[in-house]
Amino acid sequence: MEEKEKKQDYGAESIKVLGGLKAVRSRPSMYIGDTGIVGLHHLVFEIVDNSVDEALAGSCTLVKVTIHADGSVTVEDNGRGIPVDVMPQFGKPALEIVMTKLHAGGKFDHKTYKVSGGLHGVGISVVNALAEKLTVYVSRAGKIYSQNYSRGKNLDEVKIVGDATTTGTKITFTPDNQIFEVTEFNFETLSSRLRELAFLNSGLEIQVKDERENKEHVFKYDGGIKSFVEYINQNKISLNPVIHLKKEKNGTALEMAMQYNDGYLENIFSFANTINTTEGGTHLSGFKTALTRTLNSYAEEKGLLKKELKISSNDTLEGIAAVISVKLADPQFEGQTKRKLGNSEIKGLVDSMMSSGLSSYLEENPKIARMIVGKCLSAAEARLAARRARDLTRRKTALSSGSLPGKLADCSNTNPAECEIYVVEGDSAGGSSKQGRNKEFQAILPLRGKILNVEKARLHKIFNSREIVTLATAIGTGLGNEFDIKKTRYHKIIITCDADVDGAHIRTLLLTFFFRYMKPLIEAGYVYVAQPPLYRVVKNKKEHYVYNEEKLKELLKEIGEEGISLQRYKGLGEMNPKQLWETTMDPETRILVKVNVEDAVEADKIFTLLMGEEVEPRREFIEKHALEVKNLDV
C-alpha cells in the first residue's frame, strides 16, 4: 500500500507520554508476566501487536517475523511508520520518546487507533528496556530513519540512513540474558500466535521464518475467523456449515463463528482486540449464556425437549469448535499479559447480540437447528449416564471416599510440591519400580494394558474405565466438571513406558487423556515423560547406559567395540530395581522430558489425526512421516 493511500493523521501530536522506564528492568514480570519462556515470547508479541494495530487502522497489509541464527528477532511491517518529527515538549523525535518512555504511544486518544491490542502503550519501550540491543528503522516521508539502543537507552541520535519508496517500521532486537532465564525463541510458539492474528485480521499476511532451521510459514486467511473454525475442525467430521455472525452495538463489534463436529470435546477460542484471552472473561460468559438459552428456547418452542431433560451449558459445548472475537475501545484486561477480559458491560452486550443472531439463524435453517439440538440432547442423556456411572464408580471404588487405589504404592511425604508419581506400564515394571524407588517422595502406580482412547469416548465411558478412574483417583484432581488442580497430590506426574511400539502407543493414549481431560496439569508443568535407557553397554566390568542410537555411536568411538557386551532394553521389566533407580528414577542422573503445549491448535489437530475416527488423514500422515521413524520395533 503506497503512503498516499494511508491515513495521514498519525504524527508526533498523536503521541501521549505517561511515564519513564525506571521500573521495567528491576521488575520485568510486572510488564511481561515472567522472565521465563512465556515472557521471552511476549516481547515479540508486543511488537507484532503494534503492527496489527496498524492493520486494524487500515494502514498495514504485511507483517514479517524472522528468528535469526544469532538469536535475535526482526519484526517488520508496511504500516505508516512510527512518527519521527520532534515533540516540542521534549525537544526530541517522537520515535525516541516512544522507544524510551513508558506509556508513550498513540493508543490513548481514541483517534489514532479506535481499538487496540497494545492498549497500555508500554509494549515497545518495555521490549527496548529488556533488550541487550535493539535497532529500529522507520520508513516514512521518503526517508529511512534509524536509531540504536541498549537496555532501554539510546546509543545514538535518530538519523537518516537512506531513501524510502514505501512506509513501515522494522525492529531487530536481542533479548537481554541478564533478565531472561532462556533467550532461545521457539518457532512453534511464535507460529501459533501469528496464525491466530492472521485468522483474526482477514486479509492480513503474516510471514514467520526461522533462519536457524530454515522453516517458514505464511499465514493469510481471507475468510477470517470462519476459516479459523474450519481449520480447527479440518480432521473431524463436521455436522453443519460454519455459523458466522457479525454484529456491532454501542461501539463494540462482535464476530463469532461456530461449527459442531461429531466428537465430544469443546474447542473454543476467545479474543478481545485480537488478544487471545486464554482465561476467557465476560465475552466468553456472554457467548455461553446466550448459546444455552437460545438452544433451550428453540428446543422448547419446537417441542423437542423430553420432560425430565433440559439442555445444560456443558451439553451445548460438546463437539463445538468456536471463535469469539470482540473489539472495543476500552478493554479492561487482567494485567499486562491480557489473559482475561473484565469489562462487565460486555457480557450483556455479547449475550444480546449472540442471542438475536443465533435465534434468526436457527429459524432460517430448521434442518441444521434440529441437528444441533439433537446433538445437545444426546449430550444431555450422556451427561445423565456419566452421573450414574460416576455414582456407581464412587460406590464401587474410592473416587470420592478419600481412600487411594490398592495398586498405588504411595510416598510418605505429603507436600505435593516435593512428591512425584511414576505411572508405569505393567506389573513387572511396577514391581521393579516399587523396589527401586525412594519411598520418601516417589509413588508408583502400575497400569495394566492399554487405557481407553478418550478421543473416541464420552465421559460416561471414561468413568467406566477402571484404569482411568484409578489414575484420576491417585492424582487426586477428580474428572470432568469436578476437576480441581488444587487437589493435585503430586507436582511431577511421570509417564514411564517401554521403548517399543506398545509402549509408544500407551504413552500416546496417556498423553491424549491428559491433554483432553487434565490439560491444566500440562499447563502447570506437572506432566513428564521418563526416558529409560535403550542400551546397556558393559566393557571391562564398567556399565554405560545409553538413551539413543546417536549416543551409542559416540560411546563406541570413545571406548571401542572390542570386548563389549551390548544389551538392548525392550521393556522396563528387563531392568532390576537398582538399574531402574540409576537410569530412570534417580533425580541426580535421570532424564525427564517436560510435556508442554507450544501450539494448542496444532496439538489438537495432531491428537485428532492420530487418535480420532477419520482413517484417511491418519494414513496420509503416516505415509508422509514414515521415513522419520527411529528405533522401529518389528
Report which DSSP code applies to 583. Answer: I
Place of cell 491490542: 117
Q: At what angle do helices 600-611 and 187-200 cross, to 10 degrees?
A: 100
What string of DSSP letters covers 44-110?
HHHHHHHHHHHHHTT---EEEEEE-TTS-EEEEE-SS----SEETTTTEEHHHHHHHSTTEESSSSS
Q: Which of 126-140, 371-385, 443-457, 572-586 has the highest mean pLDDT?
A: 126-140
Burial of 177 (0-12, 13-18, 19+ CB in 10 A): exposed
pTM of this structure: 0.78
Give 259's strand partners: 321
SS3 for 141?
coil
| Domain match, 528 and 596 both | yes
Per-residue pLDDT of 288-302, as tens digits, reads: 999 999 999 999 999
Q: Of 387, 405, 423, which marks where a domain is finished?
A: 387
| CATH code: domain of residue 64 | 3.30.565.10
Q: What's the confidence (pLDDT) of residue 57?
A: 87
Per-residue pLDDT of 373-385, as tens digits, reads: 999 999 999 888 8
pLDDT tier, 83 (very low <50, low <70, confident <90, very high otherwise): very high
Q: Give me the percent of the chain exceeding a pLDDT of 90.
A: 57
pLDDT tier, 107 (very low <50, low <70, confident <90, very high otherwise): very low
Per-residue pLDDT of 476-528, as tens digits, reads: 998 877 789 999 999 999 999 987 778 888 999 999 999 999 999 999 999 99
- Count of H helices and E strands in the chain? 20, 26
Average pLDDT over residues 110-136: 71
Assigned domain for 214 exists: yes
| Domain match, 205 and 243 both | no
| Domain match, 215 and 235 both | no
Which domain, by its residues, includes 403? Answer: 397-532+579-628
Residue of higher predicted confidence among 412 and 402: 412
Q: What's the confidence (pLDDT) of residue 401?
A: 47
Assigned domain for 62 exists: yes
Using CA atoms, how far apart are residues 624 and 572, in angstroms rounded to an integer? 31
Please state, rounded to an integer, the average pLDDT across all residues of the chain: 87
Assigned domain for 574 exists: no
Average pLDDT over residues 317-323: 96
Helices (H), 179-251: 187-200, 225-232
Count of structural domains within the chain: 4
Assigned domain for 573 exists: no
The residues assigned a catalytic role are 425, 498, 500, 502
Residue of higher predicted confidence among 116 and 353: 353
Using CA atoms, how far apart are residues 485 and 491, in angstroms rounded to an integer? 10
| Domain match, 95 and 35 both | yes
Q: Of 327, 359, 387, which marks where a domain is finished?
A: 387
Task: Average the pLDDT over each of 59-63, 108-112, 423-427, 514-518 and give the range with the smallest value.
Answer: 108-112
Average pLDDT over residues 167-175: 97
Assigned domain for 633 exists: no
| Domain match, 374 and 487 both | no
| Domain match, 379 and 322 both | yes
Specify the pairing of strand 104-105 against strand 16-17: antiparallel
Assigned domain for 392 exists: no
Average pLDDT over residues 605-634: 74
Report whether pLDDT(147) > 80: yes
| Domain match, 383 and 461 both | no
pLDDT tier, 567 (very low <50, low <70, confident <90, very high otherwise): confident
Sheet holding 565-568, edge to edge: 542-546, 535-539, 565-568
What string of DSSP letters covers 168-182?
EEEEEEEE-TTT-S-
| Domain match, 278 and 143 both | no
| Domain match, 124 and 112 both | yes
Task: Average the pLDDT over each of 67-76, 186-195, 428-437 and give the range with the smallest value.
Answer: 428-437
Q: What angle do CA 456, 598, 609 make, to 5 degrees?
A: 30
Assigned domain for 440 exists: yes
User: Measuring CA to CA, how many Å separate 462 from each of 122, 493, 496?
Assistant: 47, 20, 22
| CATH code: domain of residue 484 | 3.40.50.670
Q: What's the confidence (pLDDT) of residue 600?
A: 78
Residue of higher predicted confidence among 468 and 603: 468
Report which DSSP code applies to 584. Answer: I
pLDDT tier, 4 (very low <50, low <70, confident <90, very high otherwise): very low
Q: What's the confidence (pLDDT) of residue 543?
A: 84
| Domain match, 136 and 183 both | yes
| Domain match, 462 and 545 both | no
Using CA atoms, how far apart are residues 10 and 106, in angstroms rounded to an integer? 8
Report which DSSP code applies to 256. Answer: E
| Domain match, 59 and 178 both | yes
Residue of higher predicted confidence among 22 and 309: 309
Assigned domain for 634 exists: no
Average pLDDT over residues 20-35: 81
Task: Average the pLDDT over each of 170-179, 256-265, 604-613 and give the range with the smallest value.
Answer: 604-613
CB atoms within 10 A of CB 596: 14
| CATH code: domain of residue 347 | 3.30.230.10
Do you know the residue count of the chain?
A: 634
Using CA atoms, how far apart are residues 244 and 240, in angstroms rounded to an integer? 12
Q: Tell me how far apart the 2 most distant CA atoms of the chain are, in Å.
A: 83
